[in-house]
Amino acid sequence: MAAKKRGAFSRRDFIKAAGAGALAAGVGPAIIIPGRAHAAKKTLKILQWVHFVPPYDKWFNETYVKEWGQKNDTEVKVDNVGLAALNAQGAAEVAAQKGHDLFLFMWPAPTFEQQVIDHREIYEECERKYGKPIDLAIKSTYNPKTKKYYGFSDSFVPDPVNYRQDLFAAVGMPKGPSTWDDVRVAGAKIKKQFGNPVGIGLSPEIDTGMAMRTIMYSFGSSVQDRDGNLVLNSKQTLEAVKFVKALYEETMTPEVFAWDASSNNRGMVSGKLSVVLNAISTTRVAEKENPDISAKIQLTKALKGPVRAIGLEHVMDCYVIWKFAENKEGAKKFLVDYIGNFRKGFLASEFYNFPCFPKTVPDLKKLIANDPKAHPPDKYKVLEDVLSWATNVGYPGYANAAKDEIFATWVINNMFAKAASGAETPEAAISQAEAACKRIFAKWKEKGLI
Amino acid sequence: MTQKAMTTVETGTQVARAKTGRLTAILDSEIWLGRLMIAPAILYIVLLIGFPFLLALYYSLSDITIGSRTMSFVGLKQFKAVIQTPLFQQSLKNTLIFTFISQALVLVLGKVLALALLKNFRGKWLVRLLILLPWVAPISLGTIGWLWMLDSIYSVFNWILRAVGIFGPTTWPIWLGVPHLAMGSVIAVHVWRQLPLATVILLGGLSSIPHDLHDAAAVDGAGFWRHLFQITIPLVLPIMIVAVLFGMVFTFTDMIVIFVLTRGGPYDTTQVLASLAFFTGIMGGDLAEGAAISLFLFPVLVAAAFVFLRIARRAEVT
Amino acid sequence: MAIVETRNIKKYFGDVPAVNGVDLSTEEGEFLVLLGPSGCGKTTLLRMIAGLEEPTSGEILIGGQVVNDLPPRARKIAMVFQSYALYPHMTVFKNIAFPLKAQSVPKETWQSKVEWAASMFGIEKLLHRKPRELSGGERQRVALARALVREPTVFLLDEPLSNLDAKLRTSAREELQQFQRRIGTTTIYVTHDQVEAMGLGDRIAVMNQGKVRQLGTPQEIYHEPADTFVAGFLGSPPMNLVEYDDTIVGFRPETFLPREVFGVQDDLVAFQFKVTRIEYLGADRLLYGFLGGKLADAHVISRLPSTVTASIQQGETYEFVVQAKDLKFFDKETGLRTGPRPL
């Protein structure tokens, strides 16, 4: 009997082992690629994602940090992990109180506020040297309640509208859509005539999260107001949800419920979709893999809704320096110098990363207006005024811990998906989402972060 | 002088002998040798399983977040709060559906496979190899393969079914985009993944039944079903119960298949507690609530393990 | 009751013949023993009769009907296994009732039939127990009761006594024989133990290398072995076999006695026997040694019952004799029995 009991316990322990295994596997993509190193007095350890544009990593890891290290007598080590592993990696470093000196999140990381230094002086120094940062950067790294800069944003990635120029021309819209209503009307015609559906996801993944918020904001709806009060349940939100339901019914297929973050890229590049919202990685892939399609995909600015034309960042670079970082001064200096050299980064990322300090790339408009790889070369020209139509998650307020959890648990995505699929009425979907948001807001308020 | 040196040498030898004696005694003693041998395993369990488990337990009773180091004890607050949310309730329901259906299928299919593999036939090694393959391949890799096969645009299944004429030109099911199909898909992939282990366990159980018993049943007049249900299954019952328990625990606590295929979608209809815990705790930053979600089923599992093992013990036959 | 018959039955495992052409026929109600060393094919033969192995060629008939294509359950046989093969998860009652259930015997009669079978072996008190709670002897009886309960036409028993200790085996043997006589069912019994075979069998089929070497009553196969294998397999110690020209001469150790044991008789054949070793076994003395004269250096054994008190010394040579009728002759080439010839 005793032996049996022991057997039972070890089995129970196995449960935990399995759980731990699952967690480890969830962190699976975190394959750490150690950077090269050379002898120097100080060290600076940087962790960032595996960039969607591989030449950027090559430039950053093998050229830029080496040059900077030589000038500053520092050995710089760069580790790259997959996008999905960033939060788990951050959590691990906090738990260990040990890790990298510079940690790059690809979205605002307000939950880590207590663990990071105030990045105010980096902003001040950069502003003194390179002029004002864009509002989007501040909105994504500043907590108005605690008056603390919980990160430093060097760049962001625009999220323009990608549309099939040939298909839109065929239904009488050669310059592409300019309003959300255009997408609905032309999308329906295109689907009927050519069978190509609109490709805006309704699934638990990041692109859907961005697209749904874009629609909400342009309909005058939002999760929170300027001061961080929950205002989700509004007439405007209802309009937005009803619009998405109609958009889904008239222009899309159930595949949008099944998508992951790369499905819309693939669908567009394979020629199956008429419109997607994505970073320019879609067109870049098309340029390399399918030049025919590349010529047909064109970009346009944020679409107009009943209230405004507004878009979101696709991802937001947010560097943090941990309180427990060993080389804080080096990290600060690195960021300030990096901003000074950002034009190189902009080029290395093939226009993927846009500057948060616009003056660092004074010839941006000229550069993007004439890209030899693009079809036509001025394809990316529409991004020249992206700052006037791009905003942060959390608009019109600041990014904060509550919106972080709302985003991560796909509350908004599911609100739209439930209504669009008919699983719930728009009103019910909204009130369920509101209840979830209310709870999340209350939780983080109680913790003092908002 | 010489004599003295001799004495010293002798004493030295004696000491050495005494030392080896003690070491040998330890190595010869079953109790001590046993303790020595089991120590790494215990150390492993304590460090890599016991400690994280206790930590998770403590997290679930605190208000820790992903970015905080100071935490205060809040008792069962996290549990109470999260249980009331519709999302948690739906995830719990999904977890139960996911677990019970997949385990029932694993059991039946594993049994069929094991019975088939017990027989001798040409090419048996190939079948064995193919059956074990899902277990050998890395889980996330295999699941990503499934993701592609179930892809909304490039689904291999749809393509084949259309090519052979089962699907008409307008039929194109979105496997991961419709709630029931999505649940069916994640269950199917999970079954695919667990089947090898269950089959091997059941095969072990089946081959441990003395062949005479099967002969006796055949002579006594039992047909296939009577033989299966009155002789074979009762005899492998203890092993079957352990296999089911193992699979259940594994399924309750695992999220890889769901994380890779649906991330809980469409709209949370495949969200299970393990994936919800990940999204809430790691991605959403509320570690305490994530821990509470993931540990919610722990008492249930302990109770199930207790009951199952008792039944297995009862059913034990020799 | 039925007659079991095999016609040129063969079983190959790959290229290896396990049973290599056996023609055998039981008589009605007979107790037939298949005797042979391990690996001789006797169990395979029994399993083919039961339907648990498929013959490579040949026919099996039970009650005059070819049963080759019938599954075991359709052959109206019952089998007792060496391990007893009791179902460990069932009580004794359920074990015994299992064949009834499986054969769709009406449920009302189970109780009385099980009790009847149990009473045949005196295990009525054990019906509620599980097999693991029984002793070896009790298990064996349960196995027999399970075989008996549905009144088969043929009993097949595969070394059912070999798991019992020596003392129990003797009494079990007696019970088994009485039981078989009482119910009179044709029984085929496999064993490698010649004592069991001699004690139980109406007839014995001695098998070696997949063939039946001799089929006969215990007396026949002991006293008139058909070949040197049978001669050498039976008896303890076995028959002395001595080469002489192109024949082999055989005589049993208990017929090889000192000259003085016999009176003046005509039919004695005398040998010079040099005793090299003596074993005292209580009831007997075993004398090991060599023959002299024409059969020089042949190694033989004599078995003297304790009633023969002649003083025998190690290292000495004595005159030993065998009655002419006790000398058996075999062909040197084939090993088969031949007619008597003068020495």
What are the residue boundaries of the structural domains of chain C, listed by start? 4-223, 237-338
- pLDDT computed for residue B9 by the predictor: 44
Out of A23-32, A137-146, B299-308, give the one with best mean pLDDT.
A137-146
B140 and B259 both lie in a single domain: yes
Q: What percent of chain B has pLDDT over 70?
A: 92
Confidence of residue B57 (pLDDT cuts 50, 70, 90): confident
CB B246 within 8 A of CB B253: no
- pLDDT computed for residue B317 by the predictor: 54
Average pLDDT over residues A369-376: 88
Please tell me the distance in Å from A127's CA to the nearest CA on chain B.
28
Q: Is the pLDDT of residue A2 over 80?
A: no
One-letter amino acid identity for C207? M
Chains touching C (3+ CB pairs < 8 Å): B
Instruction: State which of B45, B60, B75 marks the end of a domain.
Output: B60
- pLDDT computed for residue A15 by the predictor: 34
Long-range contacts of A137-142 (CB under 8 A, 24+ apart): A137/A356, A139/A391, A139/A392, A139/A394, A139/A395, A139/A397, A139/A398, A139/A399, A140/A107, A140/A108, A140/A313, A140/A316, A140/A318, A140/A392, A140/A393, A140/A394, A140/A398, A140/A399, A141/A108, A141/A318, A141/A399, A142/A398
Q: Is the pLDDT of residue C131 over 50?
A: yes
- pLDDT computed for residue B68 by the predictor: 76
C125 Ramachandran zone, left/alpha/beta (phi>0; psi -120 to 50) = alpha
Domain that holds residue B283: 84-315
- pLDDT computed for residue B20 by the predictor: 61
| Lowest mean per-residue pLDDT among A133-137, B163-167, C192-196 | B163-167
Q: Do A87 and B66 touch (CB under 8 A)?
A: yes
Confidence of residue A7 (pLDDT cuts 50, 70, 90): very low
Confidence of residue A47 (pLDDT cuts 50, 70, 90): very high
Confidence of residue A26 (pLDDT cuts 50, 70, 90): very low
Q: Chain B 104-133, CB below 8 Å of chain A: which residues?
A: none
Please tell me the distance in Å from A28's CA to the nearest CA on chain B.
8
> Is the CB of C105 inside 8 Å of chain B's CB atoms?
no
B233, closest residue in chain C (CA to CA):
C89
> Is the CB of C102 inside 8 Å of chain B's CB atoms?
yes
- pLDDT computed for residue A388 by the predictor: 83
Q: What percent of chain A has pLDDT over 70?
A: 91
One-letter amino acid identity for A238? L
Average pLDDT over residues A21-34: 39
Q: What distance in Å separates the CA atoms of residue C216 and residue C204, rounded to the nearest whole number? A: 5
B291 and B145 both lie in a single domain: yes
Q: Angle formed by the axes of helices A235-251 and A411-421, to 10°?
A: 60
The correct answer on CATH 3.40.50.1110 for the domain covering A42-154+317-362 is: no
A270, closest residue in chain B (CA to CA):
B153
**H helix runs in A72-205, sequence order:** 86-96, 120-130, 135-141, 165-170, 180-194
Q: Chain C 153-212, CB below 8 Å of chain B: which residues?
A: 156
Domain A158-313+391-446: CATH class, spelled out: alpha beta
Q: What distance in Å separates the CA atoms of residue B271 and residue B20, rounded to the nearest whole number? A: 61
Would you identify the CATH topology of the domain C4-223?
Answer: Rossmann fold (3.40.50)
- pLDDT computed for residue B316 by the predictor: 62
Q: Is the pLDDT of residue A36 over 60?
A: no
Mean pLDDT of chain C: 90
- pLDDT computed for residue A28 by the predictor: 35
Q: How far is CA A105 from the centre of its chain?
A: 10
Which residues in chain B have their CB less than 8 angstroms from residue C79's CB? 215-216, 219
Q: Do B212 and C47 touch (CB under 8 A)?
A: no
Confidence of residue B19 (pLDDT cuts 50, 70, 90): low
pLDDT tens for each residue of B215-259: 999 998 888 899 999 999 998 888 888 888 888 888 888 888 898
Phi, psi of C174 (to 5 degrees): -65, -45
Q: Is the pLDDT of residue C289 over 90?
A: yes
Taking the CB of residue A84, how many other CB atoms lie within 10 A of it? 18
Q: How far is CA C179 from the centre of its chain?
A: 18
Angle C140-C145-C146 (CA atoms, 0-180°, nearest 5)? Answer: 100
User: Residues with Cβ < 8 Å from C25, sequence gap 6 or more?
Assistant: C3, C4, C5, C6
- pLDDT computed for residue A63 by the predictor: 93
Q: Chain B 43-62, CB below 8 Å of chain C: which residues?
A: none
3-state secondary structure (DSSP) of residue A256: helix
Q: Which of C46, C47, C52 to mutate to test the interface with B (most CBs of B within 10 A)?
A: C52
Average pLDDT over residues B180-185: 92
CB C322 within 8 A of CB C251: yes
Q: Classify residue C228 as exposed, middle or buried by CB count within 10 Å of its CB (0-12, 13-18, 19+).
A: buried
Q: Which of C46, C54, C70, C73 to mutate to test the interface with B (most CBs of B within 10 A)?
A: C73
> Is the CB of B39 inside 8 Å of chain C's CB atoms?
no
How far the first Cα of chain A sits from its last, in Å, is 54
Please tell me the distance in Å from C86's CA to the nearest CA on chain B.
7
Mean pLDDT of chain B: 83
Q: What percent of chain C has pLDDT over 70?
A: 99
B123 and B18 both lie in a single domain: no
Please tell me the distance in Å from B314's CA to the nearest CA on chain C.
10
Please tell me the distance in Å from A419's CA to the nearest CA on chain B.
10
B97 and B52 both lie in a single domain: no
Which residues in chain B have their CB less than 8 angstroms from residue A255's CB? 152-153, 174, 177
- pLDDT computed for residue B171 by the predictor: 75
Domain C237-338: CATH class, spelled out: mainly beta
CB C295 within 8 A of CB C242: yes
One-letter-per-residue 3-state SS of A142-164: EECCCCEECCECCEEEECCEEEE
B47 and B174 both lie in a single domain: no
Sheet strand arrangement including C203-208? C77-80, C154-158, C186-191, C31-35, C203-208, C211-216
Which residues in chain B have their CB less than 8 angstroms from residue A113's CB? 67
Which residues in chain C have their CB less than 8 angstroms from residue B313's CB? none
Q: Which of A15, A143, A393 to mutate to test the interface with B (most CBs of B within 10 A)?
A: A15
- pLDDT computed for residue B17 by the predictor: 52
pLDDT tens for each residue of A342-353: 999 999 999 999
Q: Is the pLDDT of residue A59 over 90?
A: yes
Average pLDDT over residues C299-328: 90
Q: Do A112 and B259 touch (CB under 8 A)?
A: no
Residue of A15, A203, A423 lying closest to B253 (CB–CB): A15
Look at A37 and A445; give whichever has higher pLDDT.
A445
Sign, CA torsion C234/C240/C246/C247: negative
> Is the CB of B262 inside 8 Å of chain A's CB atoms?
yes
A420, closest residue in chain B (CA to CA):
B267
Long-range contacts of A5-12 (CB under 8 A, 24+ apart): A7/B309, A8/B305, A8/B306, A8/B309, A10/B45, A11/B245, A11/B246, A11/B249, A11/B305, A11/B309, A12/B301, A12/B302, A12/B305
DSSP C153-207: SEEEEESTTTTS-HHHHHHHHHHHHHHHHHH--EEEEEES-HHHHHHH-SEEEEE
Please tell me the distance in Å from B318's CA to the nearest CA on chain C.
7
Confidence of residue B21 (pLDDT cuts 50, 70, 90): low
Sign, CA torsion C177/C183/C186/C190: negative
Q: Is the pLDDT of residue A27 over 60?
A: no
Average pLDDT over residues B163-185: 85
B70, closest residue in chain A (CA to CA):
A114
Q: Do B177 and A263 touch (CB under 8 A)?
A: no
Average pLDDT over residues A151-170: 93
Give the position of tokens 């303790």: B35
Average pLDDT over residues B166-176: 80
Average pLDDT over residues B56-76: 82
Residue of C79, C84, C87 lying closest to B219 (CB–CB): C79
B174 and B307 both lie in a single domain: yes
pLDDT tens for each residue of A285-298: 888 888 889 999 99
Regarding chains A and C, contact by 3 or more CB pairs under 8 A is answered as no
- pLDDT computed for residue A1 by the predictor: 34
Residue spans of the domains in chain A: they are 42-154+317-362, 158-313+391-446
B272 and B185 both lie in a single domain: yes
User: Residues with Cβ < 8 Å from C305, sequence gap 6 or more?
Assistant: C254, C283, C284
Please tell me the distance in Å from B313's CA to the nearest CA on chain C.
12
Average pLDDT over residues B195-208: 88
C143, closest residue in chain B (CA to CA):
B216
Q: Do B222 and C78 touch (CB under 8 A)?
A: no
| Lowest mean per-residue pLDDT among B41-45, B85-89, C113-117 | B41-45
**H helix runs in chain C, sequence order:** 42-50, 92-102, 110-120, 136-148, 166-183, 194-200, 218-223, 228-233
Q: What b-and-e string marks burial along C134-158, b requiring 16 or more CB atoms within 10 Å of the CB?
A: beebbbbbbbbbbbbbbebbbbbbb
How far the first Cα of chain C sits from its last, in Å, is 49
Mean pLDDT of chain A: 87
Please tell me the distance in Å from B106's CA to the nearest CA on chain C.
25
Which residues in chain B have their CB less than 8 angstroms from residue A447's CB? 63, 65, 68
A257, closest residue in chain B (CA to CA):
B177
Average pLDDT over residues A70-89: 90
Q: Which of B46, B54, B58, B65 to mutate to test the interface with A (most CBs of A within 10 A)?
A: B65
Does residue B22 lie within any of the structural domains?
Answer: yes
Q: Chain B 194-223, CB below 8 Å of chain C: which residues?
A: 210, 212-213, 215-223
Tell me whether the omega of the peptide bond preceding residue B138 falls within 30 degrees of 0, making it cis. Answer: no
Give the position of tokens 């209840």: A435
Which residues in chain B have their CB less than 8 angstroms from residue C89's CB? 234-235, 237, 315, 317
User: Residues with Cβ < 8 Å from A321, sequence gap 6 or more?
Assistant: A101, A102, A103, A116, A117, A119, A152, A328, A331, A332
Q: What distance in Å separates the CA atoms of residue A180 and residue A200, rounded to the nearest whole number? A: 12
Average pLDDT over residues B129-139: 79
Which residues in chain A have their CB less than 8 angstroms from residue B174's CB? 253-255, 257-258
B52 and B129 both lie in a single domain: no
- pLDDT computed for residue B49 by the predictor: 78
> Is the CB of C261 inside 8 Å of chain B's CB atoms?
no
Residue of A13, A263, A439 lying closest to B49 (CB–CB): A13
C147, closest residue in chain B (CA to CA):
B220
- pLDDT computed for residue B247 by the predictor: 86
How many domains would you assign to chain B?
A: 2
DSSP A358-409: GGGSTTHHHHHH--TTSSSTTGGGGGGGGGGTEE-TTTTS---HHHHHHHHT
pLDDT tens for each residue of A169-216: 999 999 999 999 999 999 999 999 999 999 999 999 999 999 999 999
Q: Which two tokens stand for residue A30?
A: 């975190």
